[in-house]
Amino acid sequence: MITMENKTNILMQRYEFGRLLGQGNFAKVYYGRSLATGQSVAIKVIDKEKILKVGLINQTKREISVMGLVKHPNVLQLYEVMATKTKIYFVLEYAKGGELFNKVAKGRLKEDIARKYFQQLITAVDFCHSRGVYHRDLKPENLLLDENGNLKVSDFGLSALAESKRQDGLLHTTCGTPAYVAPEVISRKGYDGAKADIWSCGVILFVLLAGYLPFHDSNLMEMYRKIGKAEYKCPNWFPPEVRKLLSRILDPNPYTRISVAKIMDNPWFRKGMDCTHLRTSVEDKEKVTLNADTLFDPKQSCSGPSTDTKLKVTKPCNFNAFDIISLSTGFDLSGLFVRNDQKEEVQFISKNSAPSIITKIEDIAKCLRLKVMKKEGGVLKLEGLNECRNGTLSIDIEIFEITSSFHLVEVRKSSGDPLDYLKMLKQNLKPALTEIVWAWQGEQQH
């Protein structure tokens, strides 16, 4: 049996425990060190029993999934997830500089320093949004600094994925920290997660430059009234261009509020900008592939990342959210050897259910006069009725379940002439599949 911590403070023969860095109601964070590499890490220890009692299981699962999706230089990285029967361990990037809040607590920051942090914040938020992730609790306490003073967005416990939207395309969970929350979140009428995050970024910018909150009142309802009307006053040392930018960000109307793209085009924002991190993911040296559901299985103890990448079962199978990382453009290396239009195996992500995907494929096959067969392992086989140059063309289609709302579909040639396959893929299959495709692997999502 795997032990949590032994007498020498060693976790699962992989990490050495150190001093306590901080603690909350349900977790403690310790300094740690990898025994294999000597790398400093932070180890977040979550008590299973406590989160089970207060119903935070789904929130913990979501945090794991989200942190696996957002690999960026200005987002705190999750290296590994491990579990025993009573504890869950997040092995995280160690942010030696602590919370940005501690810097602001000492007084307002100089304009250039505040702008650098704001640039890094917006760049990270833009990347999260491009991956369908909305943080929903942005504040200086959740912004950490590494040893070089670079900002790291952390604590995705209240975050939401694009799949959390209702049919109206909006999020409906009221959450966040009152002083930083957008007016439309308070109104409980549904809100755009991206626009809500932008508002919080505006409050953070104000705090960095002023040293105090734009909306503050001992009476919570009065503070909400001020937020709803964007009733704030800039101190006299704010430059005119900052006042103008803030008026666009702290716009109580989410429909006219400035977008991230427009913020990034703003001349004040771009001054001295390091553009190397724009929409750039970091190299995924140790991809986490642990299924979050197994963390709450009392029969299992889990250690380290799983090495299984090919799933062979008789139904659409659980494809962990972390594996989405490998499907993004940044990690698709096949382009170094084969052009996108020459690949014999392509993958796409769909927001449709597995039955609707299968129905659509069967309809397409009927139109193309292809025979449909079901193979072992839940694989659909499309087969041509006429023999071609190198035998009968045969295409295998396999569906993997990422979440209840996302499926990965893999299309590959199993036999026949490659040119006939590529021609059918380009001219017939891809155009016909458009309405159920959310994103093709290796192709930029717009």
Can you name the residues that pair with 17 across neighbouring β-strands?
Answer: 32
- The strand order across the sheet containing 78-83 reads 10-11, 15-23, 27-34, 40-47, 87-93, 78-83
Can you name the residues that pair with 143 across neighbouring β-strands?
Answer: 153
Structure tokens at 134: 């909305």
Q: Is 375 annotated as a binding residue?
A: no
- From the list 47, 112, 126, 137, the catalytic residue is 137
Instruction: Give the 3-state secondary structure of the chain.
Output: CCCCCCCCCEECCCEEEEEEEEECCCEEEEEEEECCCCCEEEEEEEEHHHHHHCCCHHHHHHHHHHHHHCCCCCECCEEEEEECCCEEEEEEECCCCEEHHHHHCCCCCCHHHHHHHHHHHHHHHHHHHHCCEECCCCCHHHEEECCCCCEEECCCCCCEEHHHCCCCCCECCCCCCHHHCCHHHHHCCCECHHHHHHHHHHHHHHHHHHCCCCCCCCCHHHHHHHHHCCCCCCCCCCCHHHHHHHHHHCCCCCCCCCCHHHHHHCHHHHCCCCHHHCCCCCCCCCCCCCCHHHHHCCCCCECCCCCCCCCCCCCCEECCHHHHHHHCHHHCHHHHCCCHHHCCEEEEEECCCHHHHHHHHHHHHHHCCEEEEEECCCEEEEEEEEEECCEEEEEEEEEEEEECCEEEEEEEEEECCHHHHHHHHHHHHHHHHHHHCCEECCCCCC
What CA–CA distance (Å, rounded) separates 217 from 232? 11
Say whether 137 is catalytic: yes
Structure tokens at 369: 């006069």
What CA–CA distance (Å, rounded) separates 101 from 139? 8
List of residues 6+ apart from 422 with CB closer than 8 A = 341, 342, 344
Residue numbering of the annotated binding site: 44
Residue numbering of the annotated binding site for ATP: 44
Active-site residue list:
137
